[in-house]
Chains A and B, each alone.
Chain A
Amino acid sequence: DTAVSQTPKYLVTQMGNDKSIKCEQNLGHDTMYWYKQDSKKFLKIMFSYNNKELIINETVPNRFSPKSPDKAHLNLHINSLELGDSAVYFCASSQGPQGLPQHFGDGTRLSIL
């Protein structure tokens, strides 16, 4: 049973398009996260939701909009994709906002052509 699952695993698209990545966790956690990992493996937090409420909102272009319809789901919508958005996006979850520990999905590799 996959604990944190993301779809799609790979996403190849043209610059300027809009795309969404979905994340679901079946761990019963109340906190979910989005991270971006660049080509140098640097992992940076983007957003965090606790009980569907946004609690961490890093300096991210407003082209990125997270949505949490319920505690088990956190989606990421990206408008007007740019070359610099190419990266691996990871969803994670934890029980409680302290993030101890976080459980990660296997990532969505986004490639912008």
Chain B
Amino acid sequence: SQQGEEDPQALSIQEGENATMNCSYKTSINNLQWYRQNSGRGLVHLILIRSNEREKHSGRLRVTLDTSKKSSSLLITASRAADTASYFCATDATSGTYKYIFGTGTRLKVLA
């Protein structure tokens, strides 16, 4: 079954607002990654958080990880129209393998 599932499926906000999207997974992980996909393009890596980390920042991005709840959140602050894209979390499926499972993503639309 699918490892990572993003919530909400779609999100529409005004420019300047913050956007929060969540990812839940089922089994223990070593790492969790967030990726962005612009329409018609490939995925671009945003941030990696390891299972022993609780929070990471990168520019306007803030990622949290709660391994007890098997969930992660991605916060984009002061959103811009250029942030319009789909956002995916990816988790390593099983300890000892290098297979990453992606969810179906959150489609974010930032209105100018």
Contacts and interface: CB of A to CB of B under 8 A. Distances in A.
Interface of A: 4, 35, 40-45, 48, 55-56, 58, 90, 92, 97-107
Contacts of A40: 104
Contact of B104 (A42, A48, A99): A42
A104 B42 contact: yes
A45 to B, nearest CB: 6
B33 interface: yes
Chain B interface, DSSP helix/strand/loop, else mixed: strand
Contacts of A42: 2, 102-104
B45 interface: yes
B40 interface: yes
A107 B42 contact: yes
8 contacts: A41-B86, A42-B2, A45-B99, A92-B42, A99-B98, A100-B33, A107-B41, A107-B42
Size class of the B contact interface (CB-based, 8 Å)? 20 to 34
A106 B42 contact: yes
A43 B41 contact: no
A41 B104 contact: yes
Contact of A101 (B40, B42, B48): B48
Contact of A41 (B42, B44, B48, B105): B105
Given A43-B88, A56-B99, A99-B100, A106 B33 contact: no
A35 to B, nearest CB: 8
